[in-house]
Amino acid sequence: MNKIIKIVLIVIGLLATALWFGMPSSDDPDAINSGSMNFMFIIMYVLLAIAVVSTVFFGFKKLLSTPGSIKKALYAIGGLAVVVAIAYGLSSSEEANAVVDTFANNPNLSTTEGTVKNIGMGLNVFFILTIVAVVLMVFPGLKKMFVK
């Protein structure tokens, strides 16, 4: 099976290389409609679909086959839900009103207070999870340095 996958990957690589050299120049206004470009997008979508399906399949396979993993996964999902709830509470509706007022004069850009609040929540989730990741990387290193 491993040899078959390697052969398929070599064939895809050679095909992509041939398509690369067949691509039109960047000066061509109709470059996006070329056959080489379209076929490269098809290859990309097929490889992305294979990656997503195999990731989901093997992830669920590992989740269901390892004892105690469902409990850990539920704890992680619950922790993420708590972080999202905290981040939503921290996102300010005052900032949302200011952004909505800013874009109110432009008819091409439509936004609502809820949309801005959700964007603020997403940013807060990112910042909270970044802080947690940094803390989880730094503290074990400091503990190893000072405790022997």
Residuewise pLDDT in 10s, the chain (148 residues): 788 888 888 888 898 888 888 777 767 777 677 777 788 888 889 889 999 999 999 999 998 898 888 999 999 999 999 999 999 998 876 766 666 666 666 666 667 777 778 888 999 999 999 999 999 999 888 888 888 6
pLDDT at position 22 = 76
pTM across the whole model: 0.59
pLDDT at position 129 = 96
* Residues 6 or more apart in contact with residue 110 via CB below 8 angstroms: 103
Q: Give yes or no for a contact between 13 and 40, defined as CB atoms under 8 angstroms apart.
A: no
58 and 75 co-located in one domain? no
Residue at which a domain ends, from 20, 49, 65: 65
Q: Give yes or no for a contact between 108 and 134, defined as CB atoms under 8 angstroms apart.
A: no
Residue at which a domain ends, from 44, 65, 86: 65
- In this structure, the chain runs to a length of 148
Query: What range defines the domain where residue 131 resides?
Result: 69-146
96 and 136 co-located in one domain? yes
73 and 96 co-located in one domain? yes
47 and 114 co-located in one domain? no
Spatial distance between the Cα atoms of 7 and 68, rounded to a whole number of angstroms: 38
Q: How many domains does the chain have?
A: 2
Identity of the residue numbered 138:
V
pLDDT at position 72 = 92
60 and 78 co-located in one domain? no
28 and 78 co-located in one domain? no
Q: Give yes or no for a contact between 62 and 51, defined as CB atoms under 8 angstroms apart.
A: no
75 and 139 co-located in one domain? yes
Q: Give yes or no for a contact between 36 and 23, defined as CB atoms under 8 angstroms apart.
A: yes
49 and 103 co-located in one domain? no
SS (H, E, C) 87-134: HHHHCCHHHHHHHHHHHCCCCCCCCCHHHHHHHHHHHHHHHHHHHHHH
